[in-house]
Structures are given as structure tokens and as C-alpha cells.
Amino acid sequence: MKVYCPRCGQEQITPEVRFCSRCGFVMTGMSEIVLTGGVPTHLDPTAPQLPTPRRRGLKQGGAWFLFGVFMVPLLGVLSLLIRFPQEIIGLAAIVFYLGGVVRMLYALMFENGTPGEKTLEENVYHTAQKLMNRKKTAGELPAHQTIPAESYMPPRQSNWRDTNDLQPTSVTDPTTKLLEKEK
């Protein structure tokens, strides 16, 4: 993918360049705009909305609580069958029930309710998926092709000292013929 500076038109070496080396234009995010067809992702109305940190925290707390609803009775049944200490059941109940409720309370009280930015890992994964799924443009080279090892043939054996074809012709012979033509 070729990226050009929108101000001066200079071709950039790599799409990851932060600024134009000729005019100093800030190029951060230009490759993303080129990949999305000129529409920045934060202005794209069809882009899915990111969950807010508050909603994410509520989901995590609810998942911990529901996991406890299933795990504590299962541990109770297993304690009767396997006969392990009953304190483990109480500890699991405290960790899952109380942990889930505390996580939900923390999300409600302290976390932001507006959609947050993607994490670095999400940005890298999203950009890699776009690059892998994009269509090939007309200026690109074809896909890499390899030559199988079976088609390799060793060089032909010959006498490398045979230089008969490389001997220069006589310098005096053509010169003499030229002199004879002038007479």
C-alpha cells in the first residue's frame, strides 16, 4: 500500500510514518483512513459501538456471580462424594458471590459510562485483520511462488580451462586488410 502526503504529495517510505519528511504534516492515522476508504473509524456510523468500561465491569461481575451460582452447589455435591474439606465450599462462595457483587459495585461507582477507546492489543488486531482481508491493488506484485527442489539440476560438467572461444582475433589482420583496401 502506497501512502502519499496529502499536503505535498511525497510518497512515504512506510505506512507507519508519523509525519511527512518534506513538509512536516502529521501522518498519524493516514493508513487507517486509506484502508477504510477515506472515512475515519471514529466517524463511521456503521462501526459497532464499543462497550463502556462500566458495562464491561457489570458483565464481569455478573459472570463471576453466575459462575458462583453453578460452582458452589457443584462443589457441595463433590464434597459429599470425594470428601474434601467443607471450608473450600465456603471460600468459593465468598470469592464468587462477594467478588461478583464487589466488581459490579466498583463498575457502578468508579468506572466511566462513556465508550472508551480500544486497547493497544485491540487496535493491533483490528489493523492486522484489515490488512489481511484487503483486496490486492493493480500495482502489487503477484503472490510469492517457490520452485520445487525436485526441479533442480546440477550444472553441466565441462572443462573450465577450455578458452578457445575466448581468444581474441589478431589486431594486425583487420588493419592490414584496411590498408589494402585504401590502395
Q: What is the pLDDT along the chain (183 residues), one digit of tens a residue?
A: 677 787 888 887 776 667 787 887 777 766 677 677 766 665 555 666 777 888 999 999 999 999 999 999 999 999 989 988 889 999 999 999 999 999 999 999 988 887 766 666 677 777 777 777 766 666 667 677 777 777 777 777 766 666 666 666 666 766 777 777 766
Q: What angle do CA 144, 125, 1 make, to 5 degrees?
A: 45
**Taking the CA atoms of the chain, what radius of gyration do you get in angstroms?**
37
What are the angstrom distances between the C-alpha of 86 and each of 20, 22, 77, 94, 119?
67, 72, 11, 13, 41
Q: What are phi and psi of 26, to 5 degrees?
A: -75, 120
Tell me what pLDDT residue 7 has: 80
Tell me what pLDDT residue 106 has: 93
Tell me what pLDDT residue 67 has: 96
Q: What is the pTM of this model?
A: 0.43
Distance CA 82, CA 74 (A): 12
Q: Which three cell numbers stand for residue 113?
A: 459510562
Q: Looking at beta carbons, which pairs linking 103-110 to residues 24 or more positions away fall under 8 Å?
A: 103/57, 103/60, 103/61, 103/64, 104/57, 104/58, 104/61, 104/62, 104/65, 105/61, 106/57, 106/61, 107/53, 107/54, 107/55, 107/56, 107/57, 107/58, 107/60, 107/61, 108/54, 108/57, 108/58
Distance CA 79, CA 81 (A): 5
Tell me what pLDDT residue 113 has: 81
Q: DSSP 3-state assignment of 122?
A: helix
How far, in whole angstroms, is CA 50 from its chain's centroid? 20
Tell me what pLDDT residue 109 has: 93
Distance CA 103, CA 110 (A): 10
